[in-house]
Amino acid sequence: MGKSADRVFQILEAIGLSQKGKTHDELGSFLNIPKRSLSSVLGNLVDREYFSLNEADRPYVLGPHVLVLAGRYLSSSDMIRPGQPVIK
C-alpha cells in the first residue's frame, strides 16, 4: 500500500476509534505524520465529508460520508439479511 493511502487509513482509524475526535496536533503526535502532510490529507477528507471539523473545540470527527458507506455496507451484508424478516 502506498504511503498516502496508509496515512488515510491510519487517520480514519484514529478518529473513528476516538469518542471525542482528534485535533490536528493530537493526530500528528499520535501518528507521527508531518504537519504539512497531515493538513493536506485532512483537508481532502473534510472536503469529501469523511471528516467534519467541530468548530467549538476543533477536533476532527467522522463526517456524514462515513455513515453513507456504513449504511451501504449494512444493506448488502449477509449478516443483516437473516434478521430482516424478524425486523419487518
Beta bridge partners of 22: 60
pLDDT at 62 over 90: yes
Report how far apart, in Å, the C-alpha atoms of 13 and of each of 17, 19, 45, 75 are. 6, 12, 13, 22
Query: What's the rounded mean pLDDT across residues 47-71?
Result: 90
pLDDT at 86 over 70: no
Cα(10)–Cα(57) distance, rounded to whole angstroms?
A: 22
pLDDT tens digits for range 2-56: 888 999 999 999 999 999 999 999 999 999 999 999 999 999 999 999 999 877 7
pTM for the structure as a whole:
0.77
What is the band of 1 on the pLDDT scale with cuts at 50, 70, 90? confident
**Domains along the chain with CATH numbers:** 3-87 (1.10.10.10)
Give the cell for residue 7: 496515512
- State the pLDDT at residue 59: 94
- Please list, in sequence order, all residues whose beta carbon lies within 8 angstroms of the beta carbon of residue 80, skipping any fewer than 6 positions away: 74
What is the band of 84 on the pLDDT scale with cuts at 50, 70, 90? low
Backbone angle region of 18, left / alpha / beta, with phi > 0 → left and psi within -120 to 50 → alpha: beta
